[in-house]
Structure 1
Amino acid sequence: MKLSNTKPQIVVVGSSSIDLILKTSKIPTANNTVLAQNLTSFLGGKGANQAIATSRLGAHTSFVSRVGMDPYGQQVLRNLDDEEVNVAYVFEDEDEATGTAYVTASEEGNAITVVPAANYSLSSENIDEAEKYLATADLILTQMEIPSKTVEYLFKKAKKLNKKIGIYAAPASRLSDEVINYASFVVAKSTDLETIFGKGNHEDIMKHLPNKLFVRDGANSTSYFDGSEMKYFRKNPSTEAHSMGLGDAFTSGFSIALLHGNSIEDCVKFGNEVALKAADYRGSQKGLPYLKEMKELISKAY
């Protein structure tokens, strides 16, 4: 496992939001009411999570997104700037509010309702405006909290520019053959494979995409097909895990390791290690590790 002193250029295209978390004893069912123990807010959005994660891991990261012209939007922009993420192409929307996610968190798990708002106004025109950054990227990252037509356009742009592009396919929706074929890698939840790729046995789906599809399952495990056999890697937290944002953390760690020229197996292991660090704190961003601590960790573990 190697992490050189080179700072890769990454452009993240995706969502930014404020996560409002209600801690409850159980997830309410239809027509029932539960009392929340407290309400807390965190900065989130899958795109912003990946932008901050890759920046902390030593990349020059630029972010393409949309926020509202409201206090939440200003909070998002200040936070990204503090994290040394280039926000030149985070557009401010006059008509839509900043995206929000409402999370009911209990021992049963998390129930999440997302209000995309300005995130769903991110357009192909915005992608065109940010082309000068995309043209210099070593890797483009995206997710599915922006319009699917924008994702499709981004992939066409990446192909035109001959750029690597990875996607964390969440929240799950069907990916076109064009996106699947051109993607450098796809990260997905095991429960979403049929939604993303169509019906089929999970292993068969994975075997059709060797060293390209990485499936997340459980607290912090990743599986993939390496061309000859199925590979499974698990890195369980030693304490209670906070599961929000672990897929973003994994995707970011995997991306950084890939750009430093590591094997797919080491990229997966590094992604799991980054996600493990993120699981120590509630909220999607607080626990995201810095390059220095990951270098210290891998010097002992590899």
Structure 2
Amino acid sequence: MKQPNIVVVGSINMDIVVKTSRFPEGGETILGDEIHFIPGGKGANQAVALARLGAQVTMIGAIGLDPFGRTLMTSMVDSGVNCDYIKIKGEASTGTASITLTPDENSIVVVPGANAKLDASDVQQVETLIHAADAVLLQLEVPLETVEYAAALAEKHGKIVILNPAPAQPLPESLLRRVHVITPNRTELEALTGITLGERPPEEAVDKLLESGVRCVVTTLGSEGSMWKCREGSLQRQSGYRMNVVDTTGAGDAFNAGLAYALCADRGIADAVSFAAKVSGLAVTKFGAQDGMPTMADVKTYFHE
């Protein structure tokens, strides 16, 4: 496979994870069991995953002028991500996700911080990088206007646009028409189409997205694997891999990275979805979103790629 050149436009967060036996009641103070500071953000996770697979990756995002920002930059650079174009927004803090984990459930509070300050002008400054890239990989943890502008620039230069529509929100057809591959999970597919899977055939929801202008829909289904359909094609399915699950955080980001890598390495959609499933499968066998991202050597060794 050739080395893909991919620009990732997206979020950079520090995940603050507290493990405890139960949630506190209102006004109550309890003792936690563990705390972890884990580099995260969907954009950063996907950039790190791509770099570990061997892609040439440039991250376009924003951090604050604080210790979290410096730590996150160092983590990405150490993984091989080009961070020269990350903006430092002095008026904002670095994005954070405060996550409380109990044995039964979790709660998450996200403070976007500098991620919310990433604007179209920041993307405009890297147009030459987009012109040189094979693809632009996008998510929805930065302002929608910024995502739309990045997609427009990618279209202008004839690049592949891959959109991971998370967190789910209504999307304009002007954006969807520029997307080559959209990668919703089950919940996001329902939110984007208004069709509840289970009550109506899943292909109906996929077709609705295709009718909006997207070229190909790849839907992740957790342990059930994934399904995909492109224009003029039929609905296809990819089985998931049975793995020793340690941490599912970042599994979707690993899938998106694997898919983008394979598509930019000139593999067909079926082959790309299969490769993405392998990358995602390996990612859940380790703790931490970015720390769990496999290398290409890991994929080749485990799956005999």
TM over 0.5: yes
- The one-letter code of the counterpart of 2:117 is S
- The structural deviation recorded for 1:110 is 3.8
Match of 2:119 in 1: 123
Match of 1:157 in 2: 153
Once the two structures are overlaid, the 10-residue window that deviates more, 174-183 or 205-214, is 205-214
Secondary structure of the corresponding residue to residue 167 of structure 2: coil
Match of 1:203 in 2: 203
Match of 2:172 in 1: 176
Once the two structures are overlaid, the 10-residue window that deviates more, 196-205 or 212-221, is 196-205
State the superposition RMSD in angstroms.
Answer: 2.2
- 2:282 pairs with 1:277: yes
| Superposed structure 1 runs of 4+ greater than 4 Å apart | 26-35
Go from structure 1 to structure 2 and tell me whether the alpha carbon gap of 1:228 and 1:92 turns closer, same or farther (over 3 Å shift): closer
Q: Which has the higher strand share?
A: 1
Secondary structure of the corresponding residue to residue 183 of structure 2: strand
Contact 2:64-2:114 at 8 Å conserved across structures? yes
Match of 1:259 in 2: 264
Contact 2:171-2:192 at 8 Å conserved across structures? yes
Go from structure 1 to structure 2 and tell me whether the alpha carbon gap of 1:204 and 1:60 turns closer, same or farther (over 3 Å shift): same
1:1-302 to structure 2, matched below 5 A, reads 4=1, 6-26=2-22, 35-199=31-195, 201=200, 202-208=202-208, 209=210, 212-219=216-223, 221-225=225-229, 227-299=232-304
Q: Counterparts of 1:100 and 1:259 in 2: how far apart (Å)? A: 31
Once the two structures are overlaid, the 10-residue window that deviates more, 27-36 or 98-107, is 27-36
Residue identity (%): 31
- The structural deviation recorded for 1:164 is 1.1
- The one-letter code of the counterpart of 1:114 is V
Deviation readout 1:145-171 (Å, 9 max, x if unpaired): 000111111111112222111011111
Q: Counterparts of 1:63 and 1:225 in 2: how far apart (Å)? A: 29
Q: TM-score, length-normalised on structure 2?
A: 0.89
Unaligned runs of 5+ in 1: none
Q: Counterparts of 1:30 and 1:265 in 2: how far apart (Å)? A: 50
Q: Counterparts of 1:52 and 1:195 in 2: how far apart (Å)? A: 28
Deviation readout 1:2-33 (Å, 9 max, x if unpaired): xx2x2111100001111111223456787887
Deviation readout 1:244-269 (Å, 9 max, x if unpaired): 11111000001111112222122111
Q: Counterparts of 2:292 and 2:224 in 1: how far apart (Å)? A: 15
